[in-house]
Amino acid sequence: MKRIVLGLLLIAAAPEQRETDAYTRYELLAPATHSFRILYDITATTPGATAYFNPIRPGSIARDESVRDAATGKPLKFAEVGGDVARAEGLPRAKSEDKYIRVALAQPVPAGGGARIVIDKTYEDAASYRTEGDEIVFDRSLGIKRNAVVLPPGYELTACNVPSQVLQEPDGRIKISFWNAAPGSAPLVLRARRVGPLGTGATSVKLDERARQTRNIVYDLQQPETHSFALTHDYTETRPGVATYVNIVRAGSTVANPSARDLDTGAALATETLRGAAARFAAPDAKGIEDTTEAVIFRFAPVAAGQTRRIRIAETYTDAERYRLVGDELVWHRSFGRPDNIVVLPAGWALTNSSVPAVVTMTPGGRVSLRFVNPRTDEIDVIVTARRRPKV
């Protein structure tokens, strides 16, 4: 935490606001209103923070605001404040004329965890949502990476400039959803026209919204001679009554050091490693458990109706087939079914090949990190190679 000395008075400046796992849903209302409802899911991650600030975009008129805690479903207190307040409490670049929704969190953000909130508000913005001839146009630059736009009832999509899933809601409305893997904002332009009722109820195919998935996996590669990698797997459990998570170990891998915690509270969770019949008995609803299958069972308090839990699972895997040293070259070969995966190379190794496009960064400790975002519904087969950095 930075400290600023003013004369003899020592003032502690608030830590800068940090956040993760943002997802926005825009529901377009009647075209004549130029209004759209926004449901914004976000996790505040600044340790110890007691408030979160959400900006109100200039040019938009906000109304019908409410905020709830995603873990408990309970409402949270909030107020509209100016940039001076935001700047003093964690947004150093906030301008005095800026406006924010200041949300009072249910509890301070736990170290290594987060405070998950859902902000519900309605914007009126004729520049972003307008009518052109017989079409409606939603034209908005979206900085959040995961987004969905729901058309008004009875409208069909006629154009979309960002590669997106098209999914029908149970009430018949059409939803356009995408995960923006590019570094900048998505300059989204949607066009739609009224055609009348498009039917309601379940569709003939079951489709999952890729951008709405909540799983994030980080693979922390150890030195390749060990064939080992530590991983953390974050996910949100939303099903009422569920009290376990079963992780089935891939054939050819062995698992060690399992642990887990509730990211909403920071509390540690119970774990046990079982095999075959014992695993089936402990988790009768789990699929794919054979007599030789090894599974790790993570237990937590049952999820209550209207509540959710954000869980982080940590394990160490050893897999000589998928992670190995060939001559003097590190080779990592693994398929990813989840949309968001990070691979961190061991210390002292330089990236030489990546078979699938990745965003490459350096960790504070000087290790190479590759982030693979797959907005499609299929798996990606990833091969990464690296060589030791020459000593200087």
pLDDT digit string (tens) for 157-204?
Answer: 999 999 999 999 999 999 999 999 888 999 999 999 999 888 776 666
As a whole number of angstroms, the distance between CA 207 and CA 203 comes to 9
Q: Do 364 and 370 contact (CB within 8 A), yes or no?
A: no
What per-residue confidence (pLDDT) applies to 312? 96
Neighbours of 70 (CB within 10 A): 23
Q: Do 330 and 345 contact (CB within 8 A), yes or no?
A: yes
Tell me the CATH number for domain 216-388. Answer: 2.60.40
Say whether pLDDT at 9 is over 50: no
Dihedral over Cα of 108, 113, 114, 115: its sign? negative
Say whether pLDDT at 4 is over 60: no
Q: Quick one: average pLDDT of 140-146?
A: 96
Neighbours of 35 (CB within 10 A): 20
Token pair of 337 as six digits: 């079914």
Token pair of 362 as six digits: 């350096």
* Strand pairing report for 340-344 and 216-221: parallel
Q: Quick one: average pLDDT of 343-372?
A: 97
Q: Quick one: average pLDDT of 305-318?
A: 95
What per-residue confidence (pLDDT) applies to 5? 43
**Dihedral pair phi/psi, residue 87, rounded to 5°:** -65, -35
As a whole number of angstroms, the distance between CA 236 and CA 47 comes to 20
Q: Quick one: average pLDDT of 18-32?
A: 97
pLDDT digit string (tens) for 244-301?
Answer: 888 887 777 888 999 999 999 999 999 988 877 777 777 666 666 777 778 888 999 9
Please name the residues in contact with 132: beta carbons below 8 A apart, sequence gap of 6 or more.
191
Angstrom CA distances, 339 to 3, 94, 269, stand at: 40, 32, 25
Choose among 341, 340, 337, 342: nearest CA to 378.
337
pLDDT digit string (tens) for 58-72?
Answer: 877 888 999 999 999
What per-residue confidence (pLDDT) applies to 12? 54
Band of residue 207 on the pLDDT scale cut at 50, 70, 90? confident
What per-residue confidence (pLDDT) applies to 128? 95
Q: Quick one: average pLDDT of 29-54?
A: 96
Task: State percent of the chain over pLDDT 70.
Answer: 94
Choose among 102, 110, 116: nearest CA to 70.
116
As a whole number of angstroms, the distance between CA 321 and CA 334 comes to 10
Report the greatest alpha carbon distance in the chain: 72
Band of residue 391 on the pLDDT scale cut at 50, 70, 90? confident
Say whether pLDDT at 390 is over 60: yes
What per-residue confidence (pLDDT) applies to 370? 98
Choose among 56, 148, 149: nearest CA to 100.
56
Token pair of 165 as six digits: 């899933």
The rounded mean pLDDT for the chain is 91
What per-residue confidence (pLDDT) applies to 1? 38
Q: What would you report as the CA-atom Rg of the chain, rounded to the nearest whole angstrom?
A: 24
Q: Quick one: average pLDDT of 134-138?
A: 97
pLDDT digit string (tens) for 95-120?
Answer: 999 999 999 999 999 999 999 999 99
Band of residue 7 on the pLDDT scale cut at 50, 70, 90? very low
Say whether pLDDT at 2 is over 80: no
